[in-house]
Amino acid sequence: MYHLSLTFTVHRALLISGVLRNVLLFIFFFSFTLSVLLILSTFMEERLAVPMQSSESRISLIQQVRIFPQGGGDVKFDQPWRLPDVVVIKELADLQSGPQKYIVSNFSYSPGLGNLMFQYASLRAIAAKYGAKVLLPIDCTLRRAFNLDAVFVSRALNDYLIGKFDAVKHHFEELLIREQFRFLPSVAIRANDLILEAKAEKIRATAGALEGDNVNEIEQAAIPDIDESTYVYVGVHVRHGMDITLNSRNTKHGHTVATREYFKNAMNYFRQKYNNIVFIITSDNRAWMSAHIDVIRRGEVYFLNSRHREVDLAALALCNHTIMSTGTFSWWAAYLADGDAVYYGDWPNPGSVLERTVHKKDFFLEKWIAIR
């Protein structure tokens, strides 16, 4: 089992009646800080040593502030699939009805899907250690993809709870996190349909069928040389959007863009290792992807066009192996697929702030391979 150790800076610590101190350890990738707080709600005899109003006397909170915003802020709840119904808590009193512990974040570090997943994974791992429940703002866009084991609160209540106390480090709880990040059935079905479509294109190409013809089950059974069980699906994330190609702040910080040569070498690595490859490719820059991804044989490459990042991630997670780009979206695609994975070896920029703060041995799993 692989574990990811990530840290960030302590700002303040809370002492409860001189007994409970340094209550919570917390993580986040690259040692970046995120807004987070731990609420310990209890009817035990301890009282907070910090002056508060009586209604807050059993609450302790831990907060960090946003440092480095990323893309994804334009995502709204306009997905074409229905989300599960949830109960939304709007009043503080409803959280104080018993000796339950809570941990909550404002998720302000970055709205990118991969970054949100890291933030939630951090919270959920700590919640498990301390017997707490995660409070999740109802407008957190992770709800578009996953049926999370969390207590949902209104944005107003979530914001009210943010801002009091702080924390530092924790170890990644792999089995727990994999259990949490199970895609919603509607998302999983859409992703599976894309993989089936990619397989059908591969079958047509292998059988020499006319482009555009449908290969139904009867026709497929009549093709003796096709053994679709031998197909190996390799998910490829091509990140080449403006947030890293044109954003000077990001490049100065240390972010790099995976090159055409990298994707060529990575794809050749899998071509040499496996037969009957199908590359499932998604990108935030389809024009660049189409112009720079080499297709050697027909049916080998399938470009995702779901228009929904959650579905794209779910499709990549269904693949056997992964070619990563830079960023957390790729990280989660490789982690959830749990097969062979390669990553861009020239990230981050040498001498940059990002290089000094990221411990690559902690960030990348030991079995993942660096390629340039």
The residue with tokens 């259990």 is 179
148-153 LR contacts (CB < 8 Å, sep 24+): 148/120, 148/180, 149/124, 149/180, 150/124, 151/89, 151/102, 152/86, 152/87, 152/88, 152/89, 153/88, 153/89, 153/90, 153/95, 153/104
The mean-pLDDT minimum among 91-100, 204-213, 346-355 falls in: 204-213
**Which range marks the domain in which residue 88 is found?**
5-180
Q: What is the pLDDT of residues 118-148, one digit of tens each?
A: 999 989 998 998 899 999 999 999 999 999 9
CA separation for the pair 265, 115 (Å, rounded)? 27
Residues 152 and 254 in one domain: no
CA-CA-CA-CA torsion sign (123, 32, 354, 74)? positive
| pTM exceeding the 0.75 threshold for the entire prediction | no
H helix runs in the chain, sequence order = 113-130, 155-161, 174-180, 185-207, 217-221, 242-245, 248-253, 260-273, 286-292, 309-318, 328-337, 353-357, 360-363
Q: Is 140 in the same domain as 218? A: no
Same domain? For 124 and 172 the reply is yes
Q: Which of 145, 163, 180 is a domain's end point?
A: 180
Q: What tokens appear for 78 in the block?
A: 């306009």
Residue ending a domain, choose from 156, 180, 204: 180
CA proximity to 351, closest of 249, 252, 248 = 252
Angle formed by the axes of helices 309-318 and 185-207, to 10°?
60
Same domain, 246 and 328: yes
The band of 225, judged by pLDDT with boundaries at 50, 70 and 90, is: low
Give the residue from 180, 211, 233 where a domain finishes.
180
Same domain, 307 and 212: yes
DSSP state of 142: G
pLDDT digit string, tens, across residues 299-356? 899 999 888 999 999 999 999 999 999 889 999 999 999 999 999 999 888 888 888 8
